[in-house]
Amino acid sequence: MSNTTFAPLKLFITGPTYIRDDVKEAAKLPEFGHRDSENDLRMVPIFKHLRALAGAGDKFHPALLLGSGSTSMEASVRSLVAEDETILNVSVGAFGDMYYNIAASNGKKAENLKFDYGQPIDMNVLEDKLKSLKPNVVSFTHNETSTGVVHDIKAVCALIRQYGAMPLVDGVSIFGGAELDLENSGAAIYCTATQKALALSAGFGVAFISEEAEEKAKTVTNKGHHHDLVKHMDKARKHQTLTTPNCTLINQMYFQLERIVNEEGIENRFARHIEMRGMVEKWVEGIDGFDMFVPEGYRSPTLSTVVCPEGVTVAQLKQGVKEALREEGYLMDPGYGKLNAAMEAEGSRLIFRVGHMGDITPDMLGEYLGKLEVELKKL
């Protein structure tokens, strides 16, 4: 064994995020066979709790895809966009662009409709695009992690449906941290992951697949193997995974979801995230020269984006503030790299992000903001 030591940093980035000690301990639960009855002991409650967190009703079935959030996004594109169809990817930041890149790199006829960083989807512009392009499928981001914008997914899906298209939703950085009501959302599929507001390690893409999506997937060709939602559903219906899962993560997921639903309570978890967003807003109001990046009403409950005073540089955020906080035991997020580089190049004020998702508590956040403030005041 080498004697390298790893720093026990508290992660205030936007995922992966802080993992509680009892969730880490759950990794020691016994290994099991994924086609054995021991699998059901874990997976039946996992699926039940995922549905409860999503407000999935009977219309949606969860499936776990070995991989991460982008695995479920790629499966949605491969399985739900037919060869002769067009997908419109609606982007308010880096992860909206990522959905477009996934579609384009899979050879789909794709167009990216982009909005300004920090702004939500402009529904009038989207409506004009739906009228002119007439896409069959439309993807958008529920919670844009690069900018901190959250959307009302019911409103966006309703507009997409009005023009006869199928909505695919990326909910990677919000699922498990905010109320969803997926059953009545209008989405055809909702893609998420384990390493954000569920406060687990990365390892699965989670796809909530509607009956409508499954039926359509049956008609789409060239889905590959691991991106074929029909194959995933065949196994998910039996509370299994298509491929060998990460059994350690399943054990932790079992423990964590039992804890969330039966100990913390779903409503309390959602309320805690809203409380933490409010804490950051209040904190920003109290420090001169700093502002919230996103307009009120569109601010994410799982991460906040803060605009720095004019003149603050990427180097100051990355080497100054971030490294000073590392000395204090924290991993700070100095802003989405490409976004801040672009903003610095055009002379705009830079941003940084505060991840407050998963199992971060208001006390932990309060302590972190105090330390962060000391460093920001040195700028």
Ligand X SMILES: Cc1ncc(COP(=O)(O)O)c(C=O)c1O
Residue 167 found at the interface with ligand X (CB under 6 A) = no
Dist. CA 242–CA 207, nearest whole Å: 13
Q: Judged by CB, which is closer to ligand X: 56, or 98?
A: 98
Tell me the backbone φ, ψ of residue 68, rounded to 5 degrees: -150, -165
Choose one: 165-173, 211-219, 267-275, 313-321; the region binding ligand X (CB under 6 A): 165-173
Choose one: 115-123, 168-176, 209-217, 225-233; the region binding ligand X (CB under 6 A): 168-176
Q: Judged by CB, which is closer to ligand X: 144, or 375?
A: 144
Site string for ligand X, 62-81 (x = CB under 6 A): ------xxx-----------
Please, what is the minimum distance in Å from the beta carbon of residue 12 to ligand X?
Answer: 15
User: Which letter does DSSP use for residue 27 in this model?
Assistant: G
Residues numbered 98 to 157 that lie near ligand X (CB under 6 A) are 98, 141, 145
Residue 170 found at the interface with ligand X (CB under 6 A) = yes
Residue 173 found at the interface with ligand X (CB under 6 A) = yes
Near ligand X by CB under 6 A: residue from 172, 325, 354, 360: 172
Structure tokens at 341: 């580089």
Cβ contact 230:243 at 8 Å: no
Dist. CA 51–CA 183, nearest whole Å: 10
346, 347, 351, 352: CA torsion to nearest 10:
100
* Closest C-alpha to 213, from 319, 294, 300, 137: 137
Pairing of strands 303-307, 291-292: antiparallel
275, 69, 120, 154: CA torsion to nearest 10:
-80
Residue 97 found at the interface with ligand X (CB under 6 A) = no
Near ligand X by CB under 6 A: residue from 95, 204, 270, 330: 95
Going from the C-alpha of 40 to that of each of 23, 145, 257, 311, the distances in angstroms are: 20, 34, 15, 56
Query: Under DSSP, is residue 166 helix (H, G, I), strand (E, B) or coil?
Result: strand
Where b means 16+ CB within 10 Å and e means fewer, 337-357 reads: eebbeebbeeeebbbbbbbbb
Please, what is the minimum distance in Å from the beta carbon of residue 153 to ligand X?
Answer: 13
Please, what is the minimum distance in Å from the beta carbon of residue 359 to ligand X?
Answer: 18
Near ligand X by CB under 6 A: residue from 15, 120, 177, 334: 15
Residue 355 found at the interface with ligand X (CB under 6 A) = no
Cβ contact 74:106 at 8 Å: yes
Please, what is the minimum distance in Å from the beta carbon of residue 336 to ligand X?
Answer: 10
Please, what is the minimum distance in Å from the beta carbon of residue 267 to ligand X?
Answer: 24
Q: Judged by CB, which is closer to ligand X: 62, or 375?
A: 62
Residues numbered 188 to 217 that lie near ligand X (CB under 6 A) are 193, 202
Q: Which residues bind ligand X (CB under 6 A)?
A: 15, 68-70, 95, 98, 141, 145, 170, 172-173, 193, 202
